[in-house]
Amino acid sequence: MSEGDGERTLAPMFTTTDIHQRLDELESERMLATLIGLSTDQAYMADLRTEIDATRDAYVGAAVTEIASLRAELSGPLYG
């Protein structure tokens, strides 16, 4: 089926480790951009900062979910 046929595909699933690795890559890109003089390119740096912020938010959400899932596996559901 083509994309226009109403067929939906699921977004890829990323682990907390995958997201953390991407965050490290983005931080490295930011440091490299500063070293080679791209820190004066406001549009580039703003876009990079937005992606870093979004990736950090995703990382925190994934980590909290992972911790909560582990707690539930170890202790069972909470009541009350």
Q: What is the pLDDT of residues 27-44, one digit of tens each?
A: 999 999 999 999 999 999
**From the CA atom positions of the chain, what is the Rg in Å?**
18
Show Cβ contacts of residue 7 under 8 Å, excluding neighbours closer than 6 positions: 1
Residue 78 CA to residue 60 CA, distance in Å, equals 22
Distances (CA, A) of 8 to 3, 12, 13, 15, 77: 8, 12, 15, 22, 33
* pLDDT tops 60 at residue 69: yes
- With bands split at pLDDT 50, 70 and 90, how would you rate the model's confidence at 76? confident
* pLDDT tops 70 at residue 11: no
Mean pLDDT of all residues in 9-29: 90
pLDDT at residue number 27: 98
